[in-house]
Amino acid sequence: MTEYSRQASGYFTSTGAAKAIYLPFTPNRVNLTNYTAYAAFTDTGIPAANWSVGMGQGFATCLHVDAGPVLNTGVVLTNGITTFSAGLSLQYGAAIGISGITKASSAVVTTTAPHGYSVGDTIVLYGLNQSASTGMQQIAGVPFTISVVGSPTTFTIKWNTNQSNYTALAGSPAGAFVRKVLNPFLYVPEQNVVSAVTTGTTTTVTTTMYHNLVVGQEIAFRVPTVWGTTELNSLPNNVIPGSPVYGYVTALTDNWTFVCNINSSSYTAFNSNQPFASFSGQQFAQVVPVGDVNSGGFPYSGGALYPAPSFPTSSGGVPTINGPAIQGAFVNNTRQGFIIGAGNAVIGGVADTLSHLVGANADVIFWEAFLDDIFTP
């Protein structure tokens, strides 16, 4: 039957780490072909693998090259193929303990166990109090997109904790942990927490997550009084009552930093040195997208509205699964698809720790995904 079935195919070059494949559907079976492993018949390779939803999440069957080399069959019992479907609410990964956070212009977080995170992953920190009155609880609950992975147990976030109101965390404080946001950008761009502002004839803004803005994007600011640069606020407009004050993005420095055309030379300095006692009910400074012009910049000059926008915008990235929406408003970026894990082949009950379902670094992997009309368990 083909009335409602879906199918898709593609390929990628493996990095040796788990690979997410984004699709406009959630598949119920997947086929993998490692072209590199087929071309070089050597020990530990997994040239082909299959998964069906009836196997359960994280499993797969595979062909495996044993010592000899000889071809054998095997299974993957953990970190195999898993499917995902991101909904309207955020989903989080497992909690990992935090052993410390440095006082630095860009804070470095150390975890109590290997975190498995990569640059571009978005995380949230919790329980950042060293004592009843000291620590970094001021940034608890803020979503951060990781900018640097220093080691299996360290990563860097875009926040200056090298300030008087922050106390370095050490000794694995009770209740301090981090969770990964599994699908953080369900709509792009989105409201974002501001971590730094440089004033001048133009205004440079750093956000805690990927901003996903484009040049020409229309934006507005929400800055509570304690953060200092309240002159950026879109409301009220003292010249035209009821009319908001908007800015336009003029340059993208990187995935966290952009420049807008607002002349802030006379504005109050931004203040991220918030007191520890303020964390209860803390309101953060935010930048939000606005606007009503379909893709094309400011002023809109026409042109193609497709392909769909990608994120992160300043360095390319993954296309959204829908067409472009209103520029400045939110492009629907809900995510579906499957993840190819780095699980090992198990032969006769023994795992080959040198084999990986997703292949080795630089392996070329071809994939096919299907959603059948009927699946009968």
* Confidence at residue 218, expressed as pLDDT on a 0 to 100 scale: 84
* Confidence at residue 292, expressed as pLDDT on a 0 to 100 scale: 54
* Confidence at residue 1, expressed as pLDDT on a 0 to 100 scale: 46
Residues of the chain with pLDDT under 50: 1, 293-306, 324-328
Delineate the domains of the chain, giving CATH numbers in brackets.
6-86+337-371 (no CATH), 96-181 (2.40.30.180), 187-332 (2.40.30.180)
Rg of the Cα trace of the chain?
A: 24
- Alpha-carbon distances of 211 from 184, 193, 318, rounded to whole Å: 12, 9, 15
* Confidence at residue 374, expressed as pLDDT on a 0 to 100 scale: 83
* Torsion, CA 353, CA 355, CA 358, CA 362, rounded to 10: 120
Among residues 278, 375, 376, 377, which one has the least CA distance to residue 6?
Answer: 375
Alpha-carbon distance 30 to 9, whole Å? 10
Cα(first)–Cα(last) distance of the chain, in Å?
17
Q: What is the DSSP letter of 215?
A: T
Alpha-carbon distance 7 to 27, whole Å? 8
* Confidence at residue 30, expressed as pLDDT on a 0 to 100 scale: 98
**Contact, 221 vs 233, CB < 8 A?**
yes
* Confidence at residue 241, expressed as pLDDT on a 0 to 100 scale: 75
pTM for the full predicted model = 0.74
